[in-house]
Structure 1
Amino acid sequence: MSEPAKFVTGSTMRHVIVMAATGSIGLVAVFLVDALNLFYISLLGQQELAAAIGYAGTLIFFSTSISIGLSISATAITSRAIGAGERARARQLAAASIIYTTLIMGLTAAICFPYLGSLVHFMGARGDTARLTVEFMQIVFPSLPLIGIGMSMAGLLRAAGDAKRAMYVTLVAAAATVVLDPIFIFALDLGIHGAAISTVLARFTLIIVGYHGLKKVHNMLALPSPDVLRSTVRPYLYIAMPAILTQLATPVGNAYMTIVIAGYGDDAVAGWAVVGRLIPVAFGALFALSGAVGPILGQNYGALRFDRLYSTMRDAFLVIIIYSIGVWVVLFFAADFIAALFGVEGEARDLVLFFCEFVSLTFLFAGMLFVANAAFNNLGYPIISTVFNWGRSTLGIIPFVWIGSHYYGATGALAGYGLGGVFFGIAAAIVCLRIIRNIADRPPSEPPGDVGIQVPPTANSPFTTSKGAT
């Protein structure tokens, strides 16, 4: 018997909180891997090693962003099928999504690998710092398909309504890093190369845990036929390509920030590296909310429960406000402790303190942008999401960072980084709510960009697959 769609009934606030809470733990675990690498490397007492991890983190953020974009598409098309009661179709869509993810991430790794040295140089790394960054990335970069598959599997588990197992996917990977980092960095005396090796090994656990949840627990994977793979390409890419562009906007803005900060020396880069690790750890719930509301919106859209779309977004925005203010208060009073924990001094310490005490509050508006983008992607308007995120990462970062840097140095650049996104967060929230109200007032005959795929019976899939089949 088919599992019912979990999110089409019950309190939307409860669904948002449960999905966000478990999702934030899982997503923080992904970025905690980088934070742990930085922490362990900082214990070696060499500033160029910490700076190298900072540069590498920017490149890793690029690859992770592509993975998140692909997982958004997998979640959207699968959750709609589940909401419509088409479980058989959902199983093949889930498997097809994983196949596409593997191919796209493998191609990305193959294209970028020969140019790692140029990319690192472009970001401003020089000398030993540049060499160490390239050596780190040469070990980590070939594992891009692993992180892509793992992120998609976590998204598919959320699409099925299993927030707990989606959390386990990335949580286990972080736990593996906690164990492996000290072994490879200190016990085997491999330093930054050991951190890279442990990162790759930890990514294998993503797939192991994700496969168990999808296949063994939910039976959510069915080998798609060639016809299904061909017919799924268009709807998958319809969401995936704008979603990838949307996700890439953030690391582009971060890369510009890194280039500006690099002009102030390794101390400033080390401070920015700490800030770069604090952001996802402290505000993981905001990042997770975008993944949390997607399956809820997708299932209700597929079930034609348009009335629940508005309540889901309203509840999500309320959670953002409360959470962001709470985290800012904690960071404000813990600023000195955080700086001491990472052992930063001088300008690096000034940047960490300034972020904790002032800039962190602006993530309230970043959270609004993240969640609005999730709505755009899952409701059939992925291009709007792309426009807003690129607007924030260009017009909302470049001029503000340049002006702040020009007048107030590295600290001013950091202030511009935070303040530039305020307008885009507010505007995205307003547009999102208007679109949802229009959908509720004038329900479409079928959702924009809907996955109109009829999956035929195949030798590999011995079940009926007509519309509404389970």
Structure 2
Amino acid sequence: MTDSKKNVRATSLTEGDVGTILKRMTIPMILGMIMMMSFGLVDTFFVSLLGTEPLAAISFTFPVTFTVISLNIGLGIGTSAIIGKLQGSGNLEESREYATSSLMLSFSLVGGLAVIGYLTIDPIFALLNADASLMPLIHDYMTLWYLSSVFLALPMVGNSVLRASGDTRTPSILMAVGGGLNAALDPIFIFGVGPIPAMGIEGAALATLLAWIVGAVWIIWYMAVRKQLMVPRLLTFSELKKSALPVLRIGLPAAGANMLTPIAGGVMTAVVANYGAEAVAAWGVGNRLESIASIVILALSMTLPPIISQNVGASLYDRVEASYRLTLKFVVFWQLLVFAILWLLSDWIATSFAEEAEVASLIHLFLMIVPLGYGFQGIIILTNSSLNAMHRPMAALVLSFIRLFIFYVPVSYAASLFFGLKGLFWGVVAANLCMATVSYIYFNRALSEHRQEPGEQTA
């Protein structure tokens, strides 16, 4: 066997102790994602030093930026599901073509979405109830951020290829380097150093852009030259069409499911905006902190699917069930511990992220309530990622819609009408509990169907 064949050979996830495999794959992902998630959190922290208005402005951007990122996530999910199966079956050359196709797709689709986003900044943020005084700040941030999103597409989808091949260490390194570079550049561009002028909120976006340009160049070199996991050329149209359709069949519903989250987030931001700029600032900080608090959930949502995909392909459904239930048990207990820590540190965290007493008070209120539901949210996220890995993207999409627009938005909004902002926070917890129950029941039914009909599911 040639070296190139060895390079693309997948690590088998169909043998060995499930818990050991999950631990081996997840720990590097956690370390990398801590740095990855620091992008938004570090930006939020440094921007918060500029005052309430810049902090409110960057908080308004979260639903919009996550919409673009969701397309990358969806394409990555489709890529991982397809390549994982091809790698597991030894179809190595075909997996290389799919990897190249996925990168080309992500660059093109995200680029198109970024152009549309740039041209519609004013109407979109007006729909989010952004005050006119914040629009200049939002323009400063989003103009450069949209450009950076195109370069973000390549490492995000490239990392999915690596994870599908059983490699979680390299994606972790890439995320850590990107997060570290962003954190180092943020204060330089935001506040200015020497000949570099202070750029304020625009500087945060520039730091992100430069970090992702480095990441994009590195991932292309690593996959094409170092590991030979992709074809080192652009595909022809016929090649792209052939390999793109299966990826899109899973990736687009997955992207749609992820895009529902920022849409619902936008609705919730508009609701929170009724309580003032201070409430929006606190809501934005809370959501950024949620990314860090849920880091283990998000890491597992990236390491569990390759295990599910390979074992479904091998019809090893007992291993699928064991993997799913083990992760759920761990996540519930872990997130209860996270809640306890956030509850104890809520005062200190609030004052660290806000200079104004009212904003700090609202951040404190958020941290005393909302993190209680993170374990239930983990069940929801891991169920959806497992369904995508089982090639059931439409089921995951439907469950996402139910979660957000049957439970999350209506329950939270109704609670806010009776109990104000505190009621809204409790509504978020109640909605997560209800949806976690629905998700768990549905997954077990889907797995039962797979046992009876062990063929590939595409919808």
Which of these residues, 331, 345, 366, is aligned with residue 355 of structure 1?
A: 366
- Aligned equivalents of 1:362 and 1:404: distance in 2? 16
Aligned to 2:283: 272
2:265 is matched with 254
Question: What is the number of residues matched between the two proteins?
Answer: 447
Q: Deviations over 1:49-85 (max 9, x none)?
A: 1111111222111111121111111111111101111
Structure-2 separation of matches of 1:298 and 1:351: 42
1:194, CA displacement in angstroms? Answer: 0.9
**Which residue of 1 is the match for residue 211 of structure 2?**
202
Work out the CA distance in 1 between the residues paired with 2:64 and 2:36. Answer: 15
Question: Map of 1:71-470 to 2, 5 A cutoff?
Answer: 71-186=76-191, 187=193, 188-222=197-231, 223=233, 224-440=235-451, 442-444=452-454, 446-449=455-458
- With 371-380 and 2-11 compared, the bigger mean Cα shift is at 2-11
The separation in 2 between residues aligned to 1:57 and 1:172, in whole angstroms, is: 22
Between the aligned partners of 1:241 and 1:153, the Cα distance in structure 2 is 17
Q: CA deviation at 1:94?
A: 0.9
Aligned equivalents of 2:134 and 2:422: distance in 1?
A: 22
* Cα shift at 1:241: 1.2
Q: Which residue of 1 aligns with 2:40?
A: 34
Q: Cα gap change, 1:252/1:28 in structure 2, threshold over 3 Å: closer, same or farther? A: farther
* 1:58 equivalenced with 2:63 (yes/no): yes
- What's the offset of the Cα at 1:443? 4.5
CA–CA distance in structure 1, aligned partners of residues 280 and 10 of structure 2:
50
AA in 2 matched with 1:437: S
| RMSD, aligned CA | 1.8
Partner Cα distance (1:97, 1:302) in 2: 21
Report the AA paired with residue 188 of structure 2: I
Q: Which runs of 5+ in 2 are unaligned?
A: none
CA distance in 2, matches of 1:74, 1:239: 8
Between stretches 85-94 and 414-423, larger displacement belongs to 414-423
Contact 1:157 1:213 in 2 (8 A): no
Structure 1 residue 67 and structure 2 residue 72: aligned? yes
Partner SS, residue 6 of structure 1: coil
C-alpha separation between the residues in 2 aligned to 1:4 and 1:35?
34
Structure 1 position 299, deviation (Å):
2.1
Amino acid at match of 2:186: D
Selected match of 1:18 from 8, 21, 24: 24
Query: Which deviates further from its counterpart, 8-17 or 72-81?
Result: 8-17
133-142 or 379-388: bigger deviation: 133-142
Which shows bigger deviation, 58-67 or 333-342?
A: 58-67
Once the 2 structures are TM-superposed, how far is the Cα of residue 4 of structure 1 from its aligned partner?
4.3
Answer whether contact 1:169 1:205 (CA < 8 A) is retained. no
Task: Write out per-residue CA displacement over residues 380-414 of structure 1, whole angstroms, 9 at most, x where no aligned residue.
Answer: 21111011111111111222222222122222222
Identity of aligned residues (%): 26
Q: Distance in 2 between matches of 1:303 and 1:102?
A: 32
State the Cα distance separating 1:324 from its structure 2 match. Answer: 0.9
1:107, CA displacement in angstroms? 1.2
Residues 1:328 and 1:220: Cα distance change in structure 2 (over 3 Å): same
CA contact (8 A) 1:377 1:385 kept: yes
Partner Cα distance (1:314, 1:410) in 2: 34
Q: Summarize deviations over 1:273-303 as a string: whole Å, max 9, x none.
A: 1101100011111122211111111222334
Structure 2 partner of 1:466 = none
Check the 8 A contact 2:85/2:309 in 1, yes or no: yes
Q: TM-score, normalised by structure 2?
A: 0.93
Q: What's the secondary structure of 2:120's corresponding residue?
A: helix
C-alpha deviation, 1:233, in angstroms = 2.6
Q: Contact (CA 8 Å) 1:235, 1:449: kept in 2 or not? A: no
Contact 1:397–1:416 (CA under 8 A) maintained in structure 2: yes
Whether the 8 Å contact between 2:373 and 2:428 is mirrored in structure 1 is no
- 2:416 and 2:424 in contact (8 A); partners too: yes
Contact kept? 2:81, 2:391, Cα under 8 Å: no
Q: Secondary structure at the match of 1:7?
A: coil
- C-alpha contact (below 8 Å) 1:5/1:299 kept by paired residues: no
Structure 2 letter corresponding to 1:215: A
Question: Which of 91-100 and 416-425 deviates more?
Answer: 416-425
Contact 1:41 1:50 in 2 (8 A): yes
- Tell me which stretches of 4 or more aligned residues in structure 1 moved more than 6 Å: none
Question: Partners in 2 of 1:314 and 1:384 — Cα distance?
Answer: 19
d(CA) in 2 for partners of 1:14, 1:342? 38
1:407-452 CA distance string (max 9 Å, x none): 2222222221232121111211221123223323x252x31239xx
Q: Is the 8 A contact 1:257 1:417 kept in 2?
A: no
User: Paired residue for 1:461?
Assistant: none
The answer for unaligned runs of 5 or more in structure 1 is: 451-470
The more displaced of 428-437 and 86-95 is 428-437
Contact persistence 1:120–1:134 (CA under 8 A): no
> Displacement, 1:31?
2.6
Instruction: Describe the SS at the equivalent of 2:13.
Output: helix
Tell me, yes or no, if the aligned pair for 2:57 and 2:138 is still in contact at 8 Å: yes
Residue 333 and residue 170 in structure 1: after superposition, are their counterparts in 2 closer, same or farther (change >3 A)? same
Give, in angstroms, the shift of residue 14 of structure 1: 1.9
Larger mean CA deviation between 252-261 and 25-34 belongs to 25-34
